[in-house]
Every structure is written in structure tokens, then in C-alpha cells.
Amino acid sequence: MGVLRSLIFLLSFQLLLHVAKGSMVRLNESGYEDLVVAINPMVPEDTNIILNTMTMIKDASKYLFEATKHRFFFKSVKIILPKTWKKNSKYSRLKTESYNKADVIIADPYLKYGDDPYTLQYGGCGMQGRYIHFTTNFLLDSSLLKVYGERGRVFVHEWAHLRWGVFDEYNNNAPFYVSENKMVEPTRCSAGVIGKPVFRNCIGNQCAPRECQYDGQLYEAGCIFVPDVNQNSKTSIMYMQNLPSVVEFCDNSTHNAEAPNMQNKMCNYKSTWEVIMESNDYHNSSVINSLAPPFETTFQLLQTQDRAVSLVLDVSGSMDLNNRITNLRIAADVFLRQIIETGSRVGIVTFESTASVKSPLVQITSDATRQKLAQYLPTTANGGTSICAGIEKGLQIITDAINTTYGSEIVLLTDGEDSTMSTCRERVRESGAIIHTIALGPSAAKELEEFSNITGGLQLYAVDGNVPSKLIEAFSEIKTGSGDISEQSIQLESTDQQVNSSGWINNTVTIDKTVGNDTFFVFSWSIKQPIFFVRDPKGKEYGSSDFTVDSANLRTARLHINGTAEVGDWHYYIQNDNAVAQNISVAVTSRAASSDVPPVILQAYMERANIAPYPVVVYAEVSQNFLPVLGATVVATIETDGAAAVSLPLFDNGAGADMTKNDGIYSRYFALSGGGRYSLKVSARGRDQTIKLGRRQNKALYIPGYIENGKIQMNAPRPELPDEEIQANLGSFSRTSTSSITLVNSGNSNSNSSDFPPCKITDLDAYIENETIVLTWTAPGGDFDIGKANHYIIKSSANLLNLRDDFDNAASVDSLHLIPQEAGSIETLKFKPKNFTIENGTIIYIAIRAVDDKNLISDTSNIAKATWFIPPKASVPSGDDDGVNITVIVAVVAGCVVLVCIIVISTVCILQNQKKRRDPAIRM
């Protein structure tokens, strides 16, 4: 904790961050310009995909304009086509756009089913998402219009997720709830949407709707809400955008705060329109006095090409310090031999006071080409620093090779400052080249991030070290942006440590079945070559003689595994036989085993939270193609020059910084102190018994059916995969990913390391059992989600919004006996309410705040709802439909029984009267 508290984030810092996938969309006079749609390289060529995408966005522009009260529309769109599609003179060359930075991705699902449009969202309410995903089936199969609605409407639903950070207003996991008026209601917004609860009763392949039966307080599992086609309600787009009447987002007058949906949970019961009104877009726009968008959406078709990369490397005098020039050569050598994709063109430029060309652009066609290029990497350093000279020379060799700089890349590495960088800012902006920057050490030019920002490049940072591992990690992130994951090098392992004399490093890296081609082990050392060997899963050993030690890199050994590496755990053993301690690093990279099976991918990302006290949130997305990988062990390490590294586990538990449970995004708060750059390394490990694939969330609702003219018309059931079919039969795996962040001190900081409250509790749950309320939640920490809180403040109310808006004056729940546990632990509290009588229809709302040992208080938790509701014994009437009506059947049967009884009784009476007449003995 002491080390952690030495890294505290200061509230008044402005944040510059490495955006692994940053949108290039800009709002210009209410029109969104430069929206990027990218088609995955695995998608077969089909011009209908292009045409339908254009139609979808044109329709979306009109719908968005109406939905936002004439405030927003789509002005210009760029569609990126894969390089695998045929060349066409109408297709332009990319500039700084790329598949990896696209706002919308068109790609087939990995598994057999899954055409749900969805938006990948990392952060909380109001935070922009990462991308929208549409499948080719969604764009081409007109039958899906019945279950999702018109494509333009769906696009607006997903755009609201992506751009404004709002959430869905339905909930497939809780489709109904008990309302304050003691009725079972469907989870929806607005509450004015009409329809009926229906159960799809199937015998074999024959299905018919029937009324839902109660099971406990709510309807039975499988009960769904079917809406009327004709509605009076105009809301809401985040619920059922497919309904013809729906043309608005829910606002504060139509919002259903009672509904147990993600919008209420994530946005503190605000309506979607209220969240949109708080966005920068809203504040930077105005209402347009027009009935339709003032411009029709325009489209530009772009096509991906092979990479053209110029390494622009600093060789000024300061690079001779701290092993920098040696580490640079080793890391750049790894980039040329292991990272850059075959078919790419690469050149090398070095700079100090002036710049010089070491190698023009050469196309990578073989290992021999890679080896020859690596020979031109610098070995000495001296002179001043002229970054602009290096950039200009880098752009020049690109132009010499491909006659343009559009779509090219520069990898700019420097450890020094240059006061003249502003002189080439416009040249950089107009070049159409992407500039990735690597800042080495504590004194690299502060302007580097600006060059990456204006060109859409990566911003990376490496701390000084005796071994090259930090620089190798940075270079390993500079991969193709084409979207073809099978081409990319994947970092499986990156570690370094100081090893005492005669000490050992004994460790394991896993080669899973999704990788194994082009596998390399790279060992580096700071003083003397250690003893080392590698053992594969079948016991075969690779000794020192199997490694290659380059005469120009005498502190590095490389082992290349021929063919496809054996699946399983690879063990490496390294002994420092030097007389003194030295640093040793290990890096392992590989590529996909097959283009047919996408590899597991790890992506690290950092951003500043948008709520006070604005901590940095670290995210790690673990996925296979587009499906989340669950159950991994993920650890993040943050470091900066001059401070000890801090490591924390990341979680996918829906608590603390993690917004959504089981979405494959592992998260944690980090408190960072002082201005400057911070590097992030995330490692993810999976073991056989814990790993499986999950399903994407934040998606358009699959509509089960409609009611039209009183008749229920059901759609085909949504295709669902059984859990056993989404078990990711991956075996174990290992992955490493790197990112960085820059904090700029504004000069008004308060560096008191204890001025950070517990994080907000986001998973509070409540239910009633034997007239006792049972609460469960995940414990926060004393500082965000680290350590433990001092105590809890728990309040209850019969009114949800009163509890939200006036927490302090709500009724208190006695929790003095509850001692908070460590962050991440499950807390449980049982209590009998003193101010409520639990009876049929009772609804009690509960919320919590955590308090630390400095009396700093967290934000109010999500509001949990405990209900006690005894439903009527009979089913809820549903009116006429074309299915089987149980009520009518019961009535008919009862009527028949009564009629039969009357007939029988009448017959008996007649017979008895006749008998009485015949037998005088039984007369009265």
C-alpha cells in the first residue's frame, strides 16, 4: 500500500493518453464528419455490403436528426475496404484512417450464430464506446428487419451507445419487475409502451403463444413482453427503436426510473436524453431550423494497402547513456525480424542535429531481407537533437518508394527535447502519414504526443533500463492496422528481473492452439551471457547452441522455433553464472497457427474516469475474434522513471472500476501522482478449467414478435447457443500488451496521498426473506478499490428518487456491527426494517455509501430494490389472440359441466317422480 500511495493521481491534471483505437469523428456545425466504417479482411467481396451500409447511414442521418430535435446528422463517411478486395480506380488510398481506429466494424461473427448489432463499451455513463459491430448477415439478410427493425434506426441506437455513452433500457435478464403501483411490469422505457406478456409454448417444432404464469413474485422464466405495433408512445430509441412510433430518446418527463435496466444502473437513473444533453456534442451544437438535415450524407471509399514504415531513430549524444543505444538496437531488431508483417516496406533513418538515411524502404519478403535491414540499425550515438529533420527525412524515403506519404507510418523514437518541433507540425498534419511515438526515458520531448494525436498514431513510453524489455514491449504494439489478426505478431511473454550470481529464472510460457507459427524466444542480459535452455511440452530441449547471438548484439540471444510450435507449456531456464548480479529479460512472440482460427488477443488501454476525483482506469480486453474470454488471470503493472513499479490484479466482476460483469474487459482504478509519462504492461493468463467465451452486451434488442389488430405475430426464436457450445476450448494461454499515459501538471495539485475516497459500490442487491431484508455487494477499498473501507452508511426509503436525491435524510439502517472486508470481498447484511411493515406490495429501496479512515465518503451506490409481492392466483388476462386462450377454455369446460349436471339432475327427478307414482310406499 505504501508503494501504491506514492503513485497518486492529482485532480487538477489534464490528461493526454495513448488511445489504442481512437475515433477520428469530428462535429462540424451539427454534422458528424469523417465517420469511419471498416470491413474486416475475412469478409468476402460483395458490393451489396457497401450499398446497404450507405443506405443504412443515410437513413440513420434523417432518423438521428428527428430523434435529437434537429440537432445532429451524419455529414461524411469513409468506408475502408480490405486489400483482399479487387482494386478499383474509384477507391482512394488511406491517409491516417485504419481498421483499428474505425467507428464501425463490419465482420462475420466467430460462432455460428450472433447477428446482434452491438457496441463495445469500456467505461461508464457518458464515456464514449470503442466501436459498433455489424455482421454481414445483418446488412444483407432482409428477414432480420423483422427482429431488429429498419437498419437506420438500429444504427442510431448503437450510435448513442458509442458517442454519448448511454445504455440499453431493456434487460433480458430481468424482463419484468414489480412496480410501485403493485403491478408486474415489463422492463421498458417509457412505461407507456403497451403490449402483453407471452410465453412461447412449443411442442416439437410447433409453437403457440399462451399467457404467462406466475412463478414466485414474477412471471415464469421464458416469459417475454410482446409490444403492440401501433403505439402512442414516441419513446424510446434505447428500448425498441423498431416500433414505428418511436422517434425520440426518453427524457426526464418520459423516463422510467423504476425499470431495472443498465441505463438506470450506469447513469444514476438519468434518462438517455439528459445524458446526451450533458455531452460535449450537445454543448457544441445548436438546433437547425430545418425539417431535414441540411446536407445529404457523402461517402468516400478507401482501400487498405501494404504497410510503408520509416523507422526514425534518435542517435543524439544522450542516447549513449543508460544503455539506450544498445537497447534501441535490440528492440528495433526484434521489430524488423519478428513484428513487422511480410509484404511491408521498411526504411531506416537516424537523426541527431541532422538526419541521414541508413536504408531506403525495402519490401519484407524473407528472413534474409529482415536480417539485412537489421544490419543498418545504429550502434553509436553523438550530437544534438533535430526531430523535425528526422521526420522530414523519414517522409522523403517513403515518397521515394511509393510516390506519396498517404497511409504510411513513421515510428519516431527519441529520448531528448527539441524546441523547434513546432516548425514541422503542419508538415506532419498535411502528410497523411501516421506517426507512432516512443518516448524513451524521463526527458523525451513533451510535444511527441501532439504529433501522434494529430495523425492517429500510438503514443508509447519506455522507462530506462539495463535490458531492452521495455522498448521491445513498445515496438511490439506497432502492428498492422489492417484488421488481419492472422498477420500480426502476438506477444506471449515479456519480463525482466535482476538475478543474483548463480541465481535462476525458471518460468513457463504457454503456446495455445490459436498461435504457434513464427515463434521466437529472445533472452537479453546486462553484463555477461548466462546459461540457458528451453524445453518444449514433449520434453525436447533447446540449448545455447540452438540460439543465435548476433555479433552486433552481443547481449541478446534468439531462438526461432521452426514450423508450428508444440501446443502446451514451454519451460525456460536461465542461470546467471556471472560473479555479480545482473538484469535478464525474456520476450516471446508468435503468430496465429491458422488463418481459420482467430487467436486470443489482449489489448491494454487507459483513460481518465469522468467522475471526481478522476482516477485513471486501466482496462484489459481479452477476446477471441469478437467474443469475450472469461476467467483469465489479468495483472497490470504501471511504472515511470524514478519510481517503483506498481502491480495490481484486474477484475471482470462488475464492481469497482469494472462496469459490466463477464464482458471480457478486466478493469481497475489506479492512482497516479505527479506529471509525466507512465507505462502500462498487462499480462493475461488462462488455465484449462477456467476459460470460456462470453456473449457481447450493449446490443439492439431482438424483438420476439408484435401484436397487430389484436393478433400476436411471433418472430422466429432468437438463435441461442448452449453454454457448452461457447466453451472456448483454448487450453491455457499467455498474452502481454502495453500502453502508456501522460499526465500534465497544471500547477494546482494537492498531493496528499490519502485524499481519495472508496469507489462507488455498483452491484448492491437486495431481497426479502422471512420478513428480513438481505443485502449483498462487493466491498470497495479505502482508496478507490484498494485496501478496505472503515465503515458503511446504509439508507432505505420507499421512494427511489428521494433516496437518490436526499440520501442523508433517508432512514438509516443499523450497520455498526458490520466491519468492512478487503476490496473485492463479498459483503452480506441481514436486517429487519424498522420503518416499514412487510406486507403484500411492499417495496423498499436501499443504497450504501462507504467511508474510509479519513472520513472521505464514496458516491452513493446503485439503488437496490427489495420487494414482497404475492401475485394473483390466476394468470393476467391478455385479451384476444390467435393462440390458445386458457380463460376461454376454462369457462367453456365449466359451462359444459354445469349443463351436464342440470340435465342429469332433471332426468333423475323425472324418473323419481314417475317411480313415486308407481310405488305408493315412498310417497310423502
Mean pLDDT for 751-774 is 86
Phi and psi at residue 620, to the nearest 5°: -135, 115
Residue 748 reports pLDDT greater than 70: no
Residue 723 has a pLDDT of 61
Residue with cell 508444440: 566
Range of weakest confidence among 443-447, 593-597, 914-918:
914-918
Summarize pLDDT for 336-358 with one digit per residue, the tens: 999 999 999 999 999 999 999 99
Q: Which residues contact 102 (CB under 8 A, 6 or more apart)?
A: 21, 36, 37, 38, 80, 131
| CA-based nearest residue to 583, from 645, 505, 687 | 505
Contact 615/656 with Cβ under 8 angstroms? Answer: no
Summarize pLDDT for 273-323 with one digit per residue, the tens: 999 999 999 999 999 999 999 999 999 999 999 999 999 999 999 999 999
As a 3-state breakdown, the chain gives helix, strand, coil percent values, each rounded to 5, of 20, 35, 45
Phi and psi at residue 754, to the nearest 5°: -105, 10
Residue 903 reports pLDDT greater than 90: no
158 included as an active-site residue: yes
User: Taking the CA of residue 847 as centre, how many other CA atoms within 13 Å lie in the half-sphere pointing to its CB?
Assistant: 25
Where does the pLDDT of residue 112 fall: very low under 50, low under 70, confident under 90, or very high at 90 and above? low
- State percent of the chain over pLDDT 70: 88
In CATH terms, the fold of domain 603-691+728-744 is: Immunoglobulin-like (2.60.40)
Summarize pLDDT for 468-518 with one digit per residue, the tens: 999 999 999 999 999 999 999 999 999 999 999 999 999 999 999 999 999
Mean pLDDT of all residues in the chain? 89
Q: Which residues contact 760 (CB under 8 A, 6 or more apart)?
A: 780, 858, 859, 860, 861
| CA-based nearest residue to 374, from 436, 311, 306, 322 | 311
Element (H, E) at 668: strand 665-670
Residue 750 reports pLDDT greater than 60: no
Kindly report the CA angle at 358 between 354 and 360, in degrees rounded to 5? Answer: 115
Helical packing angle, 469-476 and 324-334, nearest 10°: 40
Q: Which residue has the higher pLDDT, 692 or 708?
A: 708
Contact 308/400 with Cβ under 8 angstroms? Answer: no
Sketch the domain layout of the chain as residue ranges: 18-198+212-303, 306-482, 491-598, 603-691+728-744, 765-868, 886-922
Helical packing angle, 47-67 and 151-164, nearest 10°: 70
Which CATH number among 2.60.40.10, 3.40.50.300, 1.20.1300.10, 3.60.20.30 corresponds to the domain 765-868?
2.60.40.10
Mean pLDDT for 872-881 is 47
Q: Which residues contact 6 (CB under 8 A, 6 or more apart)?
A: 643, 644, 673, 753
Residue 672 has a pLDDT of 77
Residue 446 reports pLDDT greater than 70: yes
Residue 837 has a pLDDT of 84
**pTM for the structure as a whole:** 0.90
- Measured CA to CA, the distance from residue 496 to residue 582 in angstroms comes to 10
Start-to-end CA span in the chain (Å): 102
Mean pLDDT for 141-146 is 95
CATH architecture of 491-598: Sandwich (2.60)
- Measured CA to CA, the distance from residue 245 to residue 229 in angstroms comes to 8
Residue 767 reports pLDDT greater than 80: yes
Q: Which residues contact 917 (CB under 8 A, 6 or more apart)?
A: none
Summarize pLDDT for 76-89 with one digit per residue, the tens: 999 999 999 999 99
Neighbours of 809 (CB within 10 A): 11
Residue 290 burial (10 A CB sphere; 0-12, 13-18, 19+): exposed
| Catalytic residue (one of 29, 150, 158, 417) | 158
DSSP conformational letter for 337: I
Number of helices and strands in the chain (H, E)? 17, 50
Look at residue 60 and give its three-state secondary structure: helix
- State percent of the chain over pLDDT 90: 78
Please check whether the domain covering 306-482 is classified as CATH 3.40.50.720.
no
Look at residue 543 and give its three-state secondary structure: coil
Residue 671 has a pLDDT of 81
Residue 260 reports pLDDT greater than 60: yes
Residue 13 reports pLDDT greater than 90: no
Residue 536 has a pLDDT of 98
Look at residue 562 and give its three-state secondary structure: strand
- Measured CA to CA, the distance from residue 64 to residue 152 in angstroms comes to 9
- Measured CA to CA, the distance from residue 608 to residue 11 in angstroms comes to 11
User: Taking the CA of residue 372 as centre, how many other CA atoms within 13 Å lie in the half-sphere pointing to its CB?
Assistant: 13
Q: Which residue has the higher pLDDT, 203 or 893?
A: 203
Q: Which residues contact 23 (CB under 8 A, 6 or more apart)?
A: 36, 101, 103, 128
644-675 b/e (C-beta count within 10 Å ≥ 16 → b): eebebebbbbbbbbbbbbbbbbbbbbbbbbbb
Residue 755 has a pLDDT of 77
| CA-based nearest residue to 518, from 565, 479, 472, 477 | 565
- Measured CA to CA, the distance from residue 57 to residue 75 in angstroms comes to 10
Q: Which residue has the higher pLDDT, 548 or 911?
A: 548
Residue 5 has a pLDDT of 37
Mean pLDDT for 431-459 is 95
Where does the pLDDT of residue 772 fall: very low under 50, low under 70, confident under 90, or very high at 90 and above? very high
765-868 shares the fold of 306-482: no
Look at residue 827 and give its three-state secondary structure: strand
Residue 614, sorted as left (phi over 0), alpha (psi -120 to 50) or beta, turns out to be: left
Summarize pLDDT for 507-523 with one digit per residue, the tens: 999 999 999 999 999 99
Where does the pLDDT of residue 3 fall: very low under 50, low under 70, confident under 90, or very high at 90 and above? very low
Kindly report the CA angle at 866 between 860 and 872, in degrees rounded to 5? Answer: 150
Residue 920 reports pLDDT greater than 90: no
* E-strand stretches of 342-397: 345-351, 355-363
Summarize pLDDT for 595-615 with one digit per residue, the tens: 988 999 999 999 888 777 788
Kindly report the CA angle at 346 between 342 and 352, in degrees rounded to 5? Answer: 150
Look at residue 340 and give its three-state secondary structure: coil
Q: Which residues contact 372 (CB under 8 A, 6 or more apart)?
A: 362
Summarize pLDDT for 113-132 with one digit per residue, the tens: 679 999 999 889 999 999 99
Summarize pLDDT for 675-696 with one digit per residue, the tens: 789 999 999 999 876 666 677 7
Summarize pLDDT for 353-394 with one digit per residue, the tens: 999 999 999 999 999 999 999 999 999 999 999 999 999 999
